Structure 1
Amino acid sequence: MQRLTTAPNLALATLWCDMLTGSGIGCHVQRAFASSIAGEIPPDQSQPELWVDDAAQVEQARALLEAYRHPPMLRWVCAACDELIEGPFEQCWRCGALRPD
């Protein structure tokens, strides 16, 4: 096992781990509940960590995590209602139409 990164909170650590696991990379969250002792140890040592099971998949996991953390910014106009959509959204929030390919 090799440490991939730390997460700012347990919710993100679990989400990232689930996304990596769904992509075929074995991943585990360590220090899931260490934040309860943050006053007794340095705060940076109490954050949840993501660990990859196979060290050969660490670079692939880093690339996927980078893609998850920084989705592409899109700018498109909905064909159904002419709403301008900005951000990493694939669906119009006004009418629900999907972004054209």
Structure 2
Amino acid sequence: MKRIAQAPNLAIATLWADMLQHEGGFAATVQRAYASGIAGEIPPDQALPEVWVQDDARADEARDWLDAVRRLPDRHWLCHTCGESVDGPFEQCWNCGAPMPAAGGAR
């Protein structure tokens, strides 16, 4: 097993591990899930939850995959169907479900 990421909290660590498993195809687990309870007894950065992958040979691949997912493009676009202003990496309007306009629609 190899550690591929340290998360700021348990919710994010769990989300990353689930994404690695279900979307990326990597066997991943969360370690140190409840170590924050001893943060005063050990350095705080050692009490953060961590995401580990089972297959050492795929650790670099999993790390690269997770880095790519964590760095989705940030866009701002206007929905042509309902006029909603959409921010973030979304390719679909959260209000009406219409797809993001083709090239030129995002800024």
Note the aligned Cα RMSD (angstroms). Answer: 1.7
Moved more, 86-95 or 42-51: 86-95
CA distance in 1, matches of 2:95, 2:4: 38
Aligned to 2:48: 47
Q: Among the aligned pairs, what percent are the same residue?
A: 56
Q: Gaps spanning 5+ residues in structure 1: where?
A: none
CA distance in 2, matches of 1:94, 1:3: 38
CA distance in 2, matches of 1:14, 1:84: 30
User: Can you list the C-alpha shifts for 1:6-56, whole angstroms capped at 9, x where unaligned?
Assistant: 111100000000000112101111111100111111101111111111111
SS at match of 1:13: helix
Aligned to 1:14: 14
| 2:87 counterpart letter in structure 1 | E
Moved more, 28-37 or 82-91: 82-91
TM-score by length of 2: 0.82
CA distance in 1, matches of 2:96, 2:27: 38
Moved more, 84-93 or 40-49: 84-93
Q: Gaps spanning 5+ residues in structure 2: where?
A: 103-107
User: Can you list the C-alpha shifts for 1:59-101, whole angstroms capped at 9, x where unaligned?
Assistant: 1111111122111123433221344433211222443322245
